[in-house]
Amino acid sequence: METNQEQVVESQPGTEYEREPVPQKAWLGFKSFLGMYAGEHCAGTELMIGPLFVAAGVSAFNLIIGLLLGNALAVISWMLMSAPIATRARLTLYYQLEKICGRWLVILYNLVNGVMFCFLAGAMVTVSATALGVWFKFQMPALNDMYPNSVGWVIAVLFCGSMIAVVAAYGYNTVARIGSIAAPWMVLIFIAFGIVGLRQFIDVTGKEIQSIGDLWNMANDSIWKGGAPQEGQVKFTFWHVMFFSWFCNMAMHIGMSDLSVLRYAKKSWYAVAAGAGMYLGHFLAWIAASILYAYQLHLDPKDTSVLPGPLAYRAAGLAGLICVIVAGWTTANPTIYRAGLAFQAIIPKVSRFKVTIITGLVATIAGMFPAIAMKLLDFVSFYGMVLMPMGAVIFVDFWLIKKFGLQSYYAEASGKRFNLAAGLAWFITFITCVCLVKFAGVQIYFVSLPGWFVAAILYIVISKYYQQKVRPNA
């Protein structure tokens, strides 16, 4: 029951060892990372993502095998991409970026990161607000709704979001500790959702389950049937599931955000702890939530709305509703806090309290628009795509750039505040990815993989010209 939340809080950017490598005395053991990753990836948004897979017409094989492989690739990405750099440099993402890119580019990165965090927190507020709808019976958004569709919904989101913002501003540590004690309970309630949903399917279909084979048949015939997606949704194949589960945390592993966390790890292989989060949150929780939604569709195929509150209430009653609220609240809290830190880095003279309140209000307004939560698969992929190029820049700068006869940590060495090579690699990669999605018909789930190579090559090529033209002062 003891938690390691203090250690996790220490690892938030902006708290300790901001501008120096983490000293050996502050390194943490494997258990710290196991608890942190398991808690962090069992979020309120898992209750949206699982149902959205079903709405995308995924089949049982594609879902199970796609998730198994995609999550394994995500863990490997943490172990091979971010952890080796984190445990060698032991610097925060922000300080490492500043050394490479210069102060101004880091400010821009912070701004983009902060805005993304706001939208993500908004989706979490949306999830919490759906629980209030069960009690107060107001009209809630449908699967394809873009805008708030009732006064009750707006008030519910405003209430949830304001509470989360005020609490994040006043007592981040308290909520973080509540989050840490809620984490094991939440994981079990998520699993309970799936178990209850399975029994409900057995009852409603009248099937006899005597073996794993029977269960697999029911999964194929009644739960994840494949076929056409719901109206307005993209059809999900094995590749969609695999790439989505690999890249949904792309900003953290390939994008290198978790440098700030893993710099505390004694050993690089501790990043394998991310597997706890992946296989509890991004495997079991997604599967459980998808069963609940499939059951709802089985009862009434016209009821396509993805609303975690009613889904959880049907499966687990009040405990389920509490789980939805707590899951949304405890995960929105650090997200708003992190967004606040990102913004505060841009305007350091404004107090953290004010920044967090304003950030929370922006997230609340974002949460009123159900489009973000209902299109969460697209948003999460976009989030990874936006920040991924800077991960490629860090990777190349750390491992490869000297082999091309170029200067690593170029901004620090030259005293530049904006490393044009890194900036152009980021912007051109982003524009290339957007063009591929908009005009070449490449779906957003797949564009980040080629995008990483584009960013890496661009950074080397542009640096070759840029560093020759502008001689370092140092």
Partner 1 sequence: MRPMIKLIGYIGIVAAILPSILFLAGRMELGTAKIIMLLATIVWFAAATIVEWNLDKKYFCKTDK
Q: Are 53 and 283 in contact (CB under 8 A)?
A: no
Least Cβ distance, residue 207 to partner 1 (angstroms): 13
Least Cβ distance, residue 318 to partner 1 (angstroms): 5
Q: Could you say whether residue 392 binds partner 1 (CB under 8 A)?
A: no
Closer to partner 1 by Cβ: residue 65 or 318:
318
Q: How far apart are CA 114 and CA 460, in angstroms?
A: 27
Q: Could you say whether residue 151 binds partner 1 (CB under 8 A)?
A: no
Closer to partner 1 by Cβ: residue 274 or 294:
294
| Residues 6+ positions from 397 with CB-CB distance below 8 Å | 100, 408, 409, 410, 422, 459
In sign, the C-alpha dihedral spanning 301, 305, 309, 312 is positive
The number of residues that bind partner 1 (CB under 8 A) is 24
Enumerate residues 175-204 that contact partner 1 by CB under 8 A.
177, 180-182, 184-185, 188-189, 191-192, 195-196, 198-200
Closer to partner 1 by Cβ: residue 202 or 457:
202
Q: How far apart are CA 444 and CA 379, in angstroms?
A: 9
Q: Could you say whether residue 440 binds partner 1 (CB under 8 A)?
A: no
Q: Could you say whether residue 125 binds partner 1 (CB under 8 A)?
A: no
Using the contact rule CB under 8 A, the part of the chain among 28-36, 103-111, 146-154, 315-323 near partner 1 is 315-323
Token duo for residue 458? 């661009």
CA nearest neighbour of 86 among 28, 173, 157: 28
CB atoms within 10 A of CB 228: 10
Q: Could you say whether residue 215 binds partner 1 (CB under 8 A)?
A: no
Using the contact rule CB under 8 A, the part of the chain among 132-140, 214-222, 310-318, 441-449 near partner 1 is 310-318
Using the contact rule CB under 8 A, the part of the chain among 1-9, 327-335, 427-435, 446-454 near partner 1 is 1-9
Selected binder of partner 1 within 22, 47, 140, 316 (CB under 8 A): 316
Element (H, E) at 201: helix 151-205
Q: Could you say whether residue 4 binds partner 1 (CB under 8 A)?
A: no
Q: How far apart are CA 225 and CA 54, in angstroms?
A: 8
Q: Which string of DSSP letters, residue by residue, matches 136-173?
A: H------TT--S---HHHHHHHHHHHHHHHHHHHHHHH
Would you mind telling me the total number of residues written for the chain in this entry?
Answer: 474
Q: Could you say whether residue 431 binds partner 1 (CB under 8 A)?
A: no
Closer to partner 1 by Cβ: residue 51 or 179:
179
Interface residues with partner 1 (CB under 8 A) are 1-3, 177, 180-182, 184-185, 188-189, 191-192, 195-196, 198-200, 316-320, 322
